């Protein structure tokens, strides 16, 4: 009976190891997917450039208006 129990334990261990490997692969794939999705929707850099451009444009417009040379 001891040898049979040992075989069953080895079989169960093999099954659990394969299951763990599968879960780890799924976890890695999901992490990669989430990382890619975050990169696609990360507009912080673009927002920063746009805000800076608007600021510079408004600053120049105010300077031109103050000098009486503004053209709209």
Q: 40-62, pLDDT tens digit by residue?
A: 888 888 899 999 999 999 999 99
The DSSP element (H or E) to which 68 belongs, if any, is none
CA distances from 12 to 4, 9, 18, 24, 25 (A): 12, 5, 10, 18, 20
Residue 25: name the closest of 15, 35, 14, 33 by CA. Answer: 33
CB 44 within 8 A of CB 52: no
What pTM was estimated for this model as a whole?
0.53
pLDDT at 61: 94
The DSSP element (H or E) to which 42 belongs, if any, is none
Q: 1-27, pLDDT tens digit by residue?
A: 577 678 899 999 999 999 999 999 999
**For range 28-45, the mean pLDDT:** 91
pLDDT at 70: 62
Residue 71 clears pLDDT 70, i.e. is over it:
no
């Amino acid at each position: 009976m001891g040898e049979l129990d040992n075989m069953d334990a080895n079989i169960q261990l093999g099954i659990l190891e394969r299951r763990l490997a599968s879960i780890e692969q799924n976890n890695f794939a999901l992490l990669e997917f989430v990382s890619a999705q975050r990169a696609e929707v990360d507009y912080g850099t673009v927002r920063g450039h746009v805000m800076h451009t608007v600021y510079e444009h408004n600053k120049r417009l105010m300077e031109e208006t103050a000098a009486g040379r503004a053209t709209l």
